[in-house]
Homo-oligomer: A and B are copies of this chain.
Amino acid sequence: MAGSSFGNIFKITTWGESHGRGIGVVVDGCPAGIELNEEDIQVYLDRRKPGQSKFTTKRAESDKVEILSGIFEGKTTGTPISMVIWNEDQHSKDYGDIATYYRPGHADYTFDAKYGFRDFRGGGRSSGRETAARVAAGAIAIKALKSLGITVTAYTESIADIKIDTTNADISLRDTNALYMPDADAYKRADEYVTKLMSDCDSAGGVVACVVEGMPAGVGEPVFDKLDANLGKALFSIGAVKAVEIGAGTNAALMPGSVDNDSFKIDNGKVTLTSNNGGGILGGISDGTDIFLRATFKATPSIAKQQRTINRDGEEIDITIKGRHDPLIVPRAVVVVEAMTAVTIFDMLLMNMSSRIDRIKDFYR
The residue on B at minimum CB distance from A327 is B257
Interface residue from B3, B205, B264 paired with A224 (Cβ < 8 Å): B3
A297 within 8 A of B: yes
Alpha-carbon distance A242/B293, docked complex (angstroms): 10
Q: Using an 8 Å CB-CB cutoff, how does the interface string of A341-356 with B read, 1 for contact, 0 for none? A: 0000000011111111
A287:B26 contact, CB within 8 angstroms: no
Partner of A69, one of B16, B26, B159, B242: B16
Q: Which residues of B contact A110 (CB under 8 A)?
A: 217-218, 220, 281-287
Structural contact, B126 and A283, CB atoms closer than 8 A: yes
Residues of B near A130 (CB, < 8 A) are 223
How many of these chains are in the complex?
Answer: 4
Indicate which residue in B75, B117, B255, B349 contacts A205 across the interface (CB closer than 8 Å).
B255
Count residues of chain A with CB under 8 A from any CB of chain B: 168
Please judge, given known A-B contacts A3-B224, A222-B125, whether A283 and B243 are in contact too, CB under 8 Å: no
Residues of B within 8 A of A222 (CB): 3-4, 78-79, 107, 111, 125-126
Residues from chain B with Cβ under 8 Å of A155 in the complex: none
Given A3-B222, A242-B247, A356-B116, verify A264-B126 contact (CB < 8 Å): no
Contact: A243 with B254, CB < 8 Å?
no
Q: Kindly list the 9 A-B residue pairs having the minimum CB-CB distance in the complex, ordered from nearest.
A: A107-B283, A3-B221, A3-B225, A2-B29, A110-B285, A203-B257, A232-B236, A257-B299, A233-B233
